[in-house]
Structure 1
Amino acid sequence: MSTAKTERLLIADDDPNLVEAYVRFFEAYGYTIHTAADGVGALSAYRAWCPDVVMLDIQMPHMDGRAVAREIRRMNVIPWPLLLAVTALCAPSERVESLKAGFDHHFVKPAQLPVILAAMAARTTI
């Protein structure tokens, strides 16, 4: 069932039930996954593991997802990881802020996981 070309995925969200659902879904497509429950943990995991794709909630404790995205972009890692915001923030201005912070995509919860998977697959085939 694996369609993943990018194997390493970091998922950060403070809702453990969502994280569990995300992990189950993306593991079925062959992704190796690490998780974090807040922004500080996400940034630490990114630095230690250098995943190809980073999926972040925006509203997390200690450090929000946009701050994490900005820090990852400042590292200038080549190739750049694909950064995905998956958030309850749905206003058009929120999407603009996510893109300014360095995210490649802004998905609104409840996110359609097949749509996120398609965005990931499209990036990895370029």
Structure 2
Amino acid sequence: MSTTKAERLLIADDDPDLVNAYVLFFEAYGFIIQKATDGVSALAAYSAWRPDVVMLDIQMPGRDGHAVAREIRRIGTVPRPLLVAVTGQRASSQRVESFRAGFDHHFVKPAQLPIILAVIASRSTP
């Protein structure tokens, strides 16, 4: 099964096993994927590639996901990428911080990938 449009998805997480699982899942739906294992490389990949969707862990080495999200929003790319936090941070205050940083969605690990897929698929395009 594939999406109607091959969207570009950047996945950043410092757990290589999770990244590989995410890649397998989203590639099966036709996404074109780049990966990063820390915040600095995630921001570099975003700047060079300008993906449609960015899925970020919050607690990563280098720069955390909040710092990466704030920088992506500061860049002001049009159309705006969908920013999805996938993190172990469960507290409501942490969720609020994700939205303040510029994330569109905040999912807690272990994330339900079909739900994330549905969120990506149902977003309205600018």
TM-score (norm 1): 0.97
Match of 2:35 in 1: 35
Q: Give the aligned residue type for 2:113.
A: L
Which residues of structure 2 form unaligned runs of 5+? none
| Cα 1:65/1:4, change in 2 over 3 Å | farther
Match of 1:86 in 2: 86
Provide the aligned C-alpha RMSD in A.
Answer: 1.2
Q: Deviations over 1:85-112 (max 9, x none)?
A: 0000000111000000000000000000
Q: Deviations over 1:50-93 (max 9, x none)?
A: 00000000000010000000000000111100000000000011
Q: Could you list the structure 1 runs, at least 4 aligned residues long, displaced by more than 3 angstroms after superposition.
A: none
Aligned to 2:77, what secondary structure does the other structure show?
A: coil
Whether the aligned pair in 2 keeps the contact of 1:39 and 1:62 (CA below 8 Å) is yes
Which residues of structure 1 form unaligned runs of 5+? none
TM-score (norm 2): 0.97
Match of 1:104 in 2: 104
| Cα 1:36/1:87, change in 2 over 3 Å | same
The number of residue pairs the alignment matches comes to 126
In the alignment, the residues of structure 1 paired with residue 64 and residue 119 of structure 2 have an alpha-carbon distance, to the nearest angstrom, of: 22
